[in-house]
Structure 1
Amino acid sequence: NFIPQLKNHLLSRLLGLDFDGDEHEYTAAQRDSVIILGNKIYHHKVLRVNYTTYDIRRNQDSMNSHAHCDIMIHSCESGPGVHPYWYARVIGIFHASVVHADATATNRSLQCIEFLWVRWFGIDPDHRYGSHRAHLPKIGFVPESDPCAFGFLDPSLVIRGCHLIPTFADGRTLELLSCPDSIARTAGEVDDWASYYVNM
């Protein structure tokens, strides 16, 4: 589903739709209106993210795609008790030259669009955390059976990199991603940690 998902993402960006956590679904004809120049996407080794530190200083995270770095973005969920951030592991950093060849397109010029290919984490709903409990938030990879386990992301939404600590007591598993030699894992890994703590 890589190409259909990518075109869904690119079309949402071309239409100027705000990211709400869910990729918008389009028809095959709508996806065909997204022309990727030369049918080529270009891979980059490094993602650099500028951010403001807690003491109001400027800083920059430099993240290598081969190391499968972890990132955080603002959550699109709302309501009491909702965790303020979402987390993802970067599988690839790309850009493509794209044209929106639709009769209703407001901009038909060639556009360079940068995007990340990510594997999403989800919050453990049964884990209680917070400073009053002296527990860190706990997350784990979204299972591959979920259509939202992998996705694409605008790099401008990334707040910064994050430090995740494997929950060693929970062990490792193949249940979240059954393919042992998946590109979604760091070279040499054949399974995943079942869960992680988010270091604050």
Structure 2
Amino acid sequence: MLDVPNGNRVAVRRAATRLEILEAAWEVARSKGLVELTLRDVAERIGMRAPSLYGHFASKHAIYDAMFEQAWSDYEATIPDLERALPSHPRSAMRVIGAHFYDFTATDLARHQLMNQRVVAGFSPSAEAYAPSVRVLERAHRTIVALTGATTEDFEVWVALVGGLINQHHANDAGGSRHRVLLDRGVDMWADAVGLPPDDHQ
């Protein structure tokens, strides 16, 4: 650390503090609810005063912005392993793709709400924060079209299908598995509509 220029040490400390603030923000969002997040609650969790947060984030919406980017970046980082593990059969592959996104978001209501819904009044992610979600959607579109021959409209139905089941899970069966079980049925309905051949699952 002594060999690191002072400016770099300051940047490293600032980055570490920002991450600590984000971790605290997620803890508050998960315990009290995403829309109930306050700067005071976040600051208290890391032993700071609320005004001190402004040295790292310009506003509460700036914290939401960083959380949004972090959530989609975390999901994006899982995609290479997902793609390497995809079965060769297109219908089977679609089950794996659907389950992968479902499991990532159905286990965390606050993260799902920030990633996929608009529950925070007045908040829209910045272009920088939005970029990972765009990359994920474009990559999913390319992968699914290549696997199945689906059209863009088919892909949009797919997104609505998986997202709808996740919404139903959080609204009506949080902590349960009912809609996770229904996911395979939904995938098969979509695959039948697209014209994919049956697989061993059927």
Counting helix residues as a fraction of each chain, which structure ranks higher?
2
- TM score, norm. by length of structure 2: 0.26
**Greater C-alpha radius of gyration:** 2
Counting strand residues as a fraction of each chain, which structure ranks higher?
1
- TM score, norm. by length of structure 1: 0.26
For CA contacts below 8 A with separation 6 or more, give which structure has more relative contact order. Answer: 2
